[in-house]
Amino acid sequence: MSAVSGKVALVTGGGRDIGRQISIKLAEAGAKVCINYCHGEASAKETLATIESAGGTAMLAQGDMTQAADVSKVVTACQQAFGNNIDILVNVTGGLVARKLLEDMDEAFWDTVMNLNIKSAFLVTKAVVPFMPAGSAIINFSSQAGRDGGGFGAIAYSTSKGAILSLTRGLAKELGPKGIRVNCISPGMINTSFHDTFTKPEIRRNVAGSVPLRREGEAADVANLALYLASDASAYITGASMEINGGAYFI
């Protein structure tokens, strides 16, 4: 039996790309998965259908994770479906929004990026922790950009992802005595719609050709790591950032 079998997982941004693969992987391992999505209903429904067709258990919960009222609604929906406890929280929600230089950014853009990447993780974690028993796990999402400043026009994004690293460490200290582990995953170049939208094809080819493993990562690679961090196989790991970048960046 899997180490996450029977546990309840909430995956924010769980309907597409990395979030989709994490939702599927957790369900394959026997978890009951609450898949949060904001706008991508069709994609979220595809994710749910994939899980259910394979015999897994999941449900959908729409909501904007930058809004406290929506967060509360999603947590309640998850509990109504699967019970009071939430054993696994994966904060995938986030994004670049747009590439902008400092001179092109206004206050509203800065706030949008910070809300999407760091406020969302704060709001969801605050709402879920009261329902997490000892042995639970939280997985946040930083980025290689949080380490190296990101690509051209990614100042706001990289700053917000650096904040996720600090949030993870602080939460690990605060929640450790309650038996809750908190870690984060910091992906490099992963083959997702993020880079389809924001990264030029020639840059992607150059990056893939320069990393030691000579390829982009896949969302399934990240999902495998998330499953490890969600399970008791990583029972003595907390406050860590797990880099997954094919050797592009070492810490």
Mean pLDDT of the chain: 95
pLDDT tens for each residue of 53-79 = 999 999 999 999 999 999 999 999 999
Residue 89: predicted pLDDT:
99
Q: How many independent structural domains does the chain possess?
A: 1
Q: Is residue 169 part of a domain?
A: yes
Flag whether pLDDT at 199 surpasses 90.
no
Residue 204: predicted pLDDT:
86
The span from the CA of 155 to the CA of 144, in Å, is: 13
Contact 59, 36 (CB under 8 A): no
Q: Is residue 22 part of a domain?
A: yes
Residue 189: predicted pLDDT:
87
Percent of the chain with pLDDT over 90: 87
Q: Is residue 168 part of a domain?
A: yes
* End-to-end CA, the chain: 35
Q: Is residue 250 part of a domain?
A: no
The span from the CA of 241 to the CA of 143, in Å, is: 9
Catalytic residue, chosen from 157, 228, 236, 249, is 157
Residue 203: predicted pLDDT:
83
Other CB atoms within 10 A of residue 171 CB? 23
Residue 192: predicted pLDDT:
82
pLDDT tens for each residue of 82-91 = 999 999 999 9
Q: Which residue did the predictor score with more confidence, 201 or 108?
A: 108
CA 9 to chain centre: 12
Contact 248, 208 (CB under 8 A): no
Q: Is residue 230 part of a domain?
A: yes
Mean per-residue pLDDT, 143-151: 94
Residue 32: predicted pLDDT:
98
Flag whether pLDDT at 198 surpasses 90.
no
Q: Is residue 251 part of a domain?
A: no
Mean per-residue pLDDT, 133-138: 98
> Quick check: is 157 catalytic?
yes
23 to 44, 111, 172: CA distances (angstroms): 10, 28, 23
Region of 227 on the Ramachandran plot (φ > 0 left; ψ -120 to 50 alpha; else beta)? alpha
User: CATH number, domain at 134?
Assistant: 3.40.50.720
Q: Is residue 91 part of a domain?
A: yes
Residue 82: predicted pLDDT:
98
- Structural domain for 14, as ranges: 8-244
Which run of H or E residues covers position 169? helix 155-175
Read off the pLDDT band of 194 (50, 70, 90).
confident
Read off the pLDDT band of 1 (50, 70, 90).
low
Q: What is the DSSP string of 45-100?
A: HHHHHHHHHTT-EEEEEE--TTSHHHHHHHHHHHHHHH-S---EEEE--------B
Read off the pLDDT band of 92 (50, 70, 90).
very high
Read off the pLDDT band of 206 (50, 70, 90).
confident
Both tokens assigned to 38: 């904001």
82 to 30, 88, 151: CA distances (angstroms): 13, 13, 41
SS3 215: coil
Residue 111: predicted pLDDT:
98
Q: Is residue 170 part of a domain?
A: yes
